[in-house]
Amino acid sequence: MASNVEDNVEQQKPPQKLQIYSNSNGGVSSFWREKYEREAKKYWDVFYKRHQDRFFKDRHYLDKEWGSYFSGSGTKVLLEVGCGAGNTIFPLIATYPNVFVHACDFSPRAVDLVKTHKDFTETRVSVFVCDLTMDDLSKQVPPTSVDIVTMIFVLSAVSPEKMPLVLQNIKKVLKPNGCVLFRDYAVGDLAQERFTSKDQKISENFYVRGDGTRAYYFSNDFLTSLFEENGFEIEELSLCCKQVENRSRDLVMNRRWVQAVFRSSDGINTYSCTEAPAKTNLCALENTEPKVNGNTADESMKSFEVDISEGMAVEMFGISTTDYNETIEIELGDCNFRIKVLSKEYQHTCKSTGLMLWESARLMGAVLARNPSIVAGKRVLELGCGCSGICSMVAVRSADIVVATDGDQKALELLYQNITSNLSPPLLTKLTSHRLEWGNKDQIQAVKDTNNEGFEVIIGTDVTYIPAAVSPLFATARELISSNRGNKEEQEPALILCHILRQVDEPSILSAASQYGFKLVHKWSPGSPKQCQSFINSWFPEAGFEKHILSSALNIMYFSLE
């Protein structure tokens, strides 16, 4: 009786959702940290190639926020660092005829965007490529000649240990008592929270976006210390908070940024963050309602503008699988496919392993293309097919029916695009796709309903990634494999796994297989002796197949029912 009660309780438990990627929170590895630093210019150049001048809005609010700094008699010389596509430059020269702007960016593509802008004129703007952490600004801009430096969402792109180099560089060209107008991301911004949850942390308050560009989130204390230690004093300091709503996507984003004015000093700090600088607004903190120019903080926030366009702000909080895809061409024997996958530049921070093409899928697809007898006339199921589905699309050429499954809805959406763009009837009518989270009884039943005899061949490529997934994988395969036994070993229902052993070793896989009634019949790896009796060796020709074996760690395991 006790056993029955336990069984009933077990049956009532909701199925667990499994992910075949690691959910560690160790942050970005040292390899990637160094790569992001070393190739920062390349990542930003790709950024401007993709976004052109659409990412930031033109900053027309500059006149409202800092108009008094730009106006006055005589020519004002400005330096816009990290000018990007010119969203600061062109509103300024349109509003203030007495302003001349030096502008720099370390992305050559960004500088080209400024030069080709319809309002660019050499009499008002001098633009050049410069890495402020390495290049001497005074070689492009005369020393002590600049009245105002604008730093709008630029210092955050620099690693925090190199920020002092930037400030020392601009101080060379800034006039005595010249000022820096500053706006940048603040600690607590929604983007920071999203990056943290996606394991994209480089160091404290420093994160990498999906496209490889980086963003630092400033606290008041850090920002104050940074500027004071490099010869500036605080004139204004505001922490700004605003909600941006995207109704079409039913998304509300809490944006936070720091806005400040720093003035060049002789090294003597005349202000501190707590000594009432000219303007301090800490809005939406605790229950305070500080006054700014006679208005409450809530009222004043209505006048603040968010630089990032609404659509681009949405992109910062997660990868859009529609906009971040690339098409790759796959040639597997006489099978040629054009496959949409997540672009390589975004794969390093994407949690969904189903949005990319793995080496094991390429290999297994090539094996099936060369050996159609493996699936000829059979009912075939692919587990964890991902967005590419190349094994399923090769198999359907000779199989009776093929069902491609994955637990990731985004992968399935991209899979549908790949299937419909690469196949046509009658092949298209023989291949169906279903969502299948291993162990989910309702989804297993839905797959069973596609045929009432079970599947004679089940294929999985790189589906043994983490220990927690292995047991549900074999349990699900046992539910769906055909129970009809053939006369020959090769004709018996088979489960074929192709993978690189990562977090799960072979004994653990064999133990889980045995638990659910599977036995290992044959296995193969690139180093298998040619004289080995495993019939899997016959799948590989003597020559010309090496191009499909992209890793020496790949192996194939062929299981049948005990």
* Surface-to-core class of residue 223, CB atoms within 10 Å of its CB (0-12 exposed, 13-18 middle, 19+ buried): buried
Residue 57 structural domain? 30-316
* Surface-to-core class of residue 145, CB atoms within 10 Å of its CB (0-12 exposed, 13-18 middle, 19+ buried): middle
φ/ψ (deg, to 5) at 427: -60, -40
Domain edge (last residue) among 251, 286, 316: 316
Question: Does residue 386 share a domain with residue 342?
Answer: yes
- DSSP letters spanning 138-167: GGTS-TT-EEEEEEES-GGGS-GGGHHHHH
Question: Does residue 501 share a domain with residue 469?
Answer: yes
- DSSP letters spanning 131-143: -TTTS-GGGTS-T
Number of other residues whose CB lies within 10 A of the CB of residue 197: 10
Cα-Cα-Cα-Cα dihedral sign, residues 485, 488, 491, 497:
positive
Question: Does residue 365 share a domain with residue 479?
Answer: yes
Question: Does residue 277 share a domain with residue 364?
Answer: no
Question: Does residue 118 share a domain with residue 63?
Answer: yes
Question: Does residue 489 share a domain with residue 352?
Answer: yes
Question: Does residue 324 share a domain with residue 308?
Answer: no
Q: Classify residue 419: in a domain, yes or no.
A: yes
Domains identified in the chain, total number: 2
Question: Does residue 289 share a domain with residue 359?
Answer: no
Domain edge (last residue) among 294, 316, 338: 316
What pLDDT shows up at residue 228?
95
What pLDDT shows up at residue 561?
94
Q: Classify residue 15: in a domain, yes or no.
A: no
Q: Classify residue 13: in a domain, yes or no.
A: no
Q: With contact defined as beta carbons under 8 Å apart, do 82 and 105 qualify?
A: yes
Q: Classify residue 3: in a domain, yes or no.
A: no
Longest dimension (CA), the chain: 97
d(C-alpha 435, C-alpha 409), whole Å: 7
Q: What is the pTM (predicted TM-score) of this model?
A: 0.56
Neighbouring residues of 447: CB distance < 8 A, sequence distance ≥ 6: 381, 403, 405, 434, 436, 480
* In 437-551, beta strands by DSSP E: 457-461, 494-500, 518-524
Instruction: Tell me the CATH number at 261.
Output: 3.40.50.150
Q: Classify residue 22: in a domain, yes or no.
A: no
Q: What is the pLDDT of residues 61-103, one digit of tens each?
A: 788 889 889 988 788 999 999 999 998 999 999 999 999 999 9
Domain edge (last residue) among 248, 283, 316: 316
Q: What is the pLDDT of residues 382-414, one digit of tens each?
A: 999 999 999 999 999 999 999 999 998 889 999
* Closest residue by Cα to residue 282 from 274, 290, 271: 290
pLDDT tens by residue, the chain, 562 residues: 444 434 443 444 444 444 444 444 567 888 888 989 999 999 888 888 877 776 667 787 788 889 889 988 788 999 999 999 998 999 999 999 999 999 999 999 999 999 999 999 999 999 999 999 999 999 999 999 999 999 999 999 999 999 999 999 999 999 999 999 999 999 988 888 777 766 788 999 999 987 888 999 999 999 999 999 999 999 999 888 876 665 555 556 677 889 999 999 864 333 333 333 334 343 433 322 323 333 333 434 444 555 554 444 444 444 444 456 788 999 998 889 999 988 766 666 566 778 888 899 999 999 999 999 999 999 999 999 999 999 999 999 999 999 999 998 889 999 999 999 999 989 999 999 999 999 999 999 999 999 889 999 999 999 998 899 999 999 999 999 998 765 554 578 999 999 998 889 999 999 999 999 999 999 999 877 665 557 888 898 877 788 888 888 899 999 999 8
Q: Classify residue 445: in a domain, yes or no.
A: yes
* Surface-to-core class of residue 175, CB atoms within 10 Å of its CB (0-12 exposed, 13-18 middle, 19+ buried): middle
What pLDDT shows up at residue 266?
60
C-alpha dist (Å) from residue 107 to 32, 82, 113, 116, 170:
20, 9, 10, 15, 18
Question: Does residue 195 share a domain with residue 56?
Answer: yes
Question: Does residue 330 share a domain with residue 238?
Answer: no
Q: With contact defined as beta carbons under 8 Å apart, do 349 and 378 qualify?
A: no
Q: Classify residue 21: in a domain, yes or no.
A: no
Q: Give CA 82 to chain center in angstroms.
A: 23
Q: Classify residue 83: in a domain, yes or no.
A: yes
What pLDDT shows up at residue 449?
93
Question: Does residue 186 share a domain with residue 332?
Answer: no
Question: Does residue 50 share a domain with residue 63?
Answer: yes
